[in-house]
Structure 1
């Protein structure tokens, strides 16, 4: 395992607004991070622009919570180099995202993300990073914020893109909500239950692409949550793929966000 892989994993999770794609990732096999096929309607589907459905119908199916605890595995692929880690993620809605990244040797990184800051403890190299959240916009664009990251991680659509002006199409077996916001073309694909299965974003200049697919949805007290999230991004010639597979999901439970930086750790600016 490369020393900086834990940091790369977290940065990759945060940077996904920098990509966008009209390709649908294949989410069923752990070894297909690099594989994708064009996303097209089924031949027997009937494409209709619908008037009786509004964007509020899709918002009503979003996963709503106060706190969330996720455990599972992450597979990271950066420019065809793969690494596997275990992750534990805790989220307090709209306030904090806490992530522990571990490997065979134990915890290798701990991350705390708030709407204002990003903090990363790198245990492999004995250092610590603290940055304002908006430093991520240097790698993406000014659309990236905490709410976008939170939506991506829990399988909800990115609300800042969707509006009453969004185009809604009915393909019988799925719905497509699309439009253009701030030079970003967006497509959100929902299943017949109006639950998000695919997010595709593409910048107008075609420099950055993002594709996120959600699979293995399970029902928890009437709410659906994806058991697998697969993300693929391209920024220029840089390719990043991340696959998250959750083995444990719990929500609206007490959570803590322990984050203590050892005094001997070097602060990285």
Structure 2
């Protein structure tokens, strides 16, 4: 897997929430085998994030080729408008908006500016700002109201899947019976030998918002695998935030080749 692909996988999954006063939610809900897909989608929609702004610190550990690395980032978000990330000591900074993805790296004196098309090819999933934001907040990557789904259960979760899976994309969404947020999102592209799994290992109540606390992401393409674990600390909601971003002079532009 290319280094820049790893950069963007990390950037797109590393910005959620935690709080000094947050309470971890115990998954104590009972499975109702009679619940319909329509009911599940309705309950899930009720839990969509309602905050305006968010600030947090996120500890990230990622593993590739059996080698593990870790670092911390500061996150600021204005819901539906901007995601801003600053790495420790300002070594890297990113700003994502509905129209543009921008990133620079002081270690290698380089930067990237572009839209979501190329990054969608790199990750194997069509991306836009809404999908990235939803992924980070424990919400469905896809608009569930746009499709037809069937409901089933396992021992711990409700399972939603499209009534008609395709050879291009198979989708499985596991919902938590306690609060109907995502337990897991699993996307399989058999023809391209790609697999993305996002597991929400724990949630927390932050100022009456149910938000992820611990997330694990596994991205596989052919024989390449990246695993990312996140621990979220020190979040503040609905306070004034700033998004400073200026590409330093003299940096070299990163040109990403289209994925085959």
Q: What TM-score range do you get, normalising by the shorter chain?
A: 0.7 to 0.9
- Structure 1 CA distance, aligned partners of 2:12 and 2:231? 19
1:13 to 10, 13, 23: 10
Superimposed CA distance per residue, residues 61-119 of structure 1 (whole angstroms, 9 cap, x where no aligned partner)? 222322222212101112222110101111222221111122xxx23210111222221
1:57 to 43, 46, 49: 43
Alignment of 1:131-210 (within 5 A): 131-141=114-124, 143-160=126-143, 163=146, 165-171=148-154, 173-179=156-162, 180=164, 183-192=168-177, 193-205=179-191, 207-210=193-196
Match for residue 26 of structure 2?
A: none
Unmatched segments (≥5 aa) in structure 1:
17-44
Match for residue 266 of structure 1?
A: 252
- Structure 1 CA distance, aligned partners of 2:111 and 2:123? 22
Q: TM-score, normalised on structure 1?
A: 0.77
- Structure 2 CA distance, aligned partners of 1:114 and 1:181? 31
- Structure 2 CA distance, aligned partners of 1:61 and 1:221? 13
Between 75-84 and 152-161, the greater mean CA deviation after superposition: 152-161
Superimposed CA distance per residue, residues 195-246 of structure 1 (whole angstroms, 9 cap, x where no aligned partner)? 2211111124261101111123111232211111110010122211111110
Between 183-192 and 157-166, the greater mean CA deviation after superposition: 157-166
Contact 2:37-2:150 at 8 Å conserved across structures: no
| Count of paired positions | 235
Unmatched segments (≥5 aa) in structure 2:
14-30, 256-260
Contact 2:5-2:122 at 8 Å conserved across structures: no
Superimposed CA distance per residue, residues 11-66 of structure 1 (whole angstroms, 9 cap, x where no aligned partner)? 113678xxxxxxxxxxxxxxxxxxxxxxxxxxxx8855636724122111222322
Give the CA RMSD over aligned residues: 2.8
Match for residue 87 of structure 1?
A: 73
Between 206-215 and 180-189, the greater mean CA deviation after superposition: 180-189
Q: Any idea what SS the aligned residue of 1:137 has?
A: helix
Q: Which has the higher helix share?
A: 2
Q: Which has the higher strand share?
A: 1
- Structure 2 CA distance, aligned partners of 1:61 and 1:84? 31
Cα 1:156–1:188 change in 2 (3 A) is same
- Structure 2 CA distance, aligned partners of 1:108 and 1:198? 32
